[in-house]
Chains A and B, each alone.
Chain A
């Protein structure tokens, strides 16, 4: 009985892996759908955003039929590993931590992160200027970082959970602030706008989208634009480690989109500026 059972499992595993290998005429792509303008959900319940347009573009280049799957952020990597979909395009930064469990295509966009606060808050006095690359800290950027740290000391800082932003707050600000993790960027923005948290760290593009709305118009950025280090090296397509053929396909398709300018077009359309890379 036990033997039959094992054979059955082995057979199932074989058919499953056979379905994966080589045949990429149909690709399932996981996204969050709660991170505009990267990937959001409109009033009609349809996914939309720069990455949704990019998915359609890349799939046409790969001659593949693509299906988008919406998945909560905190389970987005496990669901890839379990085969719920074959690729992640969800504003996911390429970081060393994630590279240990999944592969990434080349980066297709990069957006600095910044802290934002209510205009009425005392923290707003810091102002918003400068750029800091965490991989190349020189005297000037160290100074910017220090004044940011000083301003935020004792504040309650919100981030979306399991993001590069959360890593930055933990690694760089540590115990000098109280950190709160949110399930989605949208909930983080809501709590910032009502003053439950003193500051939020997120990528600039998604916060700018919120600032355009009625609730978000009293929010401003403070401190420098942050990148590199814990923020990783741009946003790429997340793929399973053993799907190297799919990785090559995505890299080629991204090359193509970059070469004819459509990559820049998608991001300019949704972000109002070209953040493609």
Chain B
């Protein structure tokens, strides 16, 4: 094991940290916003909307993220009318293709997590809210969504961690994130073990912080569930 190489590699890989964090935070944020809407569609009584949400989740959960990235990056570029239209300036950049793929993917998973959260809100709580005259948007904003988020938090924390790791796939479309830089250095030094260990440690650190943050939120949101010690 070449420790010197590992120490040398560390700052070089940190350069890619910026892009990894950008990809994770933008796609998680946008994906989450759309996921709320998608979860509501999934729960709606309108058969068409329900079917749309179901189909979307089916396809994006059922296919590998790598395939989705390739389809968006290499696939869409094959259509001439897209290359000649204004959307090409968006799809031309690997960065935006990656954001789009990651967002669509996390949106599908998160919507199911949120749906589970919403459905776990007990009928009694909804009834008592209704008895005080709340309904519609107000009922969702004040009662259902806050309780649903609290319930969904552990599962959503899981999704956040998965997303951090999923960003490593974007190196296949020429983006120089942590994994992309690691592969570049390996090609020069021919020492995959050392370099990937350092890259792995960086991902581990990011996910350690994410876990702590989620844990902190859980404690804040559900103090009544904590053991008194």
Q: Nearest Cβ distance between residue A74 and chain B, in whole angstroms?
A: 5
Interface of B is mostly: helix
State in angstroms the CA–CA spacing of A75 and B92 once bound together: 28
Report, as a range, how many residues of chain A touch the other chain. Answer: 20 to 34
Residue of A97, A187, A194 with most chain B CB atoms under a 10 A cut-off: A194
Q: Is the C-beta of B10 less than 8 angstroms from some C-beta in chain A? A: no
A268 at the A/B interface (Cβ < 8 Å)? no
Which of chain B's residues have a CB closer than 8 A to the CB of A256?
none
Query: Are B74's CB and A77's CB within 8 A?
Result: no
Partner of A187, one of B74, B78, B188: B74
Bound together, the chains give a CA A194 to CA B80 distance in angstroms of 8
B187 within 8 A of A: yes
Q: Taking the nearest CB of chain A, how far is it from the CB of B10, in angstroms? A: 20
Interface centre among A162, A196, A215 (most CB of B within 10 A): A196
- Evaluate whether A181 and B190 lie within 8 angstroms (CB atoms) in the complex, with A187-B74, A195-B83, A196-B77 already known: no
Closest to A166 in B: B187
Partner of B186, one of A74, A182, A183: A74
CB of A180 closer than 8 Å to a CB of B: yes
B115 contacts which chain A residues (CB < 8 A)?
none
Tell me if A101 and B190 are in contact (CB < 8 A). Answer: yes
Closest CB-CB distance, B117 to chain A, in whole Å? 39
How many pairs of residues, A versus B, come closer than 8 Å at their CB atoms? 38
8 A Cβ contacts from A84-114 to B: 97, 101
Tell me whether B191 is interfacial, beta carbon within 8 Å. Answer: yes
With beta carbons under 8 angstroms apart, the residue of A74, A77, A190, A191 that contacts B183 is A74
Bound Cα distance A181, B179 (Å): 13
Q: Which residues of chain B from 71 to 102 have any CB-CB distance to chain A below 8 Å in the complex?
A: 74, 77-78, 83, 92
Indicate if B172 sits at the interface (CB-CB under 8 A).
yes
Asked whether B92 lies within 8 Å of A162 as measured between CB atoms, the reply is: no
CB neighbors of B among A18-39 (8 A)? none
CA distance A183 to B94 in the complex (A): 14
Nearest residue in B to A80 (C-beta to C-beta)? B190
How far in angstroms is the closest Cβ of chain A from B115? 37
Given contacts A180-B174, A181-B174, contact A190 B187 (CB under 8 A): no
Of chain A, the residue at the smallest CB distance from B77 is: A194
Complex Cα gap A187–B78 (Å): 12
Q: B15 on the interface (CB 8 Å rule)?
A: no
Q: Specify which chain A residues have a CB less than 8 angstroms from the CB of B172 in the assembled complex.
A: 183
Q: Which residue of B lies closest to A73 (CB)?
A: B187
What are the residues of chain B within 8 A of A194 when measuring CB–CB? 77-78, 83
A190 touches B74 (CB 8 A): yes
Is A228 an interface residue when CB atoms closer than 8 A count as contact?
A: no
In the complex, what distance in Å separates the CA atom of A131 from the CA atom of B183?
33
B184 touches A161 (CB 8 A): yes
In chain B, what residue has the closest Cβ to A167?
B188
* Complex alpha-carbon distance, A96 and B203, angstroms: 34
Contact between chains at B77 and A190 (CB < 8 Å): yes
Asked if B192 is at the interface (CB within 8 A of a chain A CB), the reply is: yes
Whether A161 lies near B187 (C-beta < 8 A) is: yes
Query: Cβ of A81 and Cβ of B83 under 8 Å apart?
Result: no
B92 touches A196 (CB 8 A): yes
Highest count of chain A CB atoms <10 Å: which of B174, B183, B186, B192 = B174
Q: Contact between A182 and B174 (Cβ–Cβ < 8 Å)?
A: yes
Inter-chain contacts of A101 with B (CB < 8 A): 190
* A78 close to B (CB within 8 Å): yes
Min distance, Cβ B9 to any Cβ of chain A, angstroms: 15
Interface residues of A in 123-139 (CB under 8 A from B): none
The B150-196 residues at the A interface (CB cut-off 8 A) are: 172, 174, 183-184, 186-188, 190-192
A161-B183 contact in complex given A180-B174, A187-B74, A195-B83, C-beta closer than 8 Å: yes
Q: Is the CB of B190 within 8 A of A78?
A: yes
Please, what's the 1-or-0 string for B51-81, where 1 marks a CB less than 8 Å from any CB in chain A? 0000000000000000000000010011000
Complex interface bits, B178-218 against A, C-beta within 8 A gives 1, otherwise 0: 00000110111011100000000000000000000000000
B192 partner, pick from A75, A97, A195, A215, beta carbons under 8 A: A75
Q: For residue B13, give the distance in angstroms from its CB to the closest CB of chain A.
A: 16
How far is A196 from B172 in the complex, measured between Cα atoms in Å? 15
Supply 17 A–B pairs (Cβ within 8 Å), ascending by A.
A74-B187, A75-B192, A78-B191, A97-B188, A101-B190, A161-B184, A161-B187, A162-B188, A181-B174, A183-B172, A187-B74, A191-B74, A191-B77, A191-B174, A194-B83, A195-B83, A196-B92
Q: Residues of B at under 8 Å CB distance from A?
A: 74, 77-78, 83, 92, 172, 174, 183-184, 186-188, 190-192
Beyond the given pairs A75-B186, A161-B183, A162-B188, 6 more chain A to chain B contacts, judged by CB atoms under 8 angstroms and listed by A's residue number, are: A78-B186, A162-B187, A183-B172, A191-B74, A191-B174, A194-B77
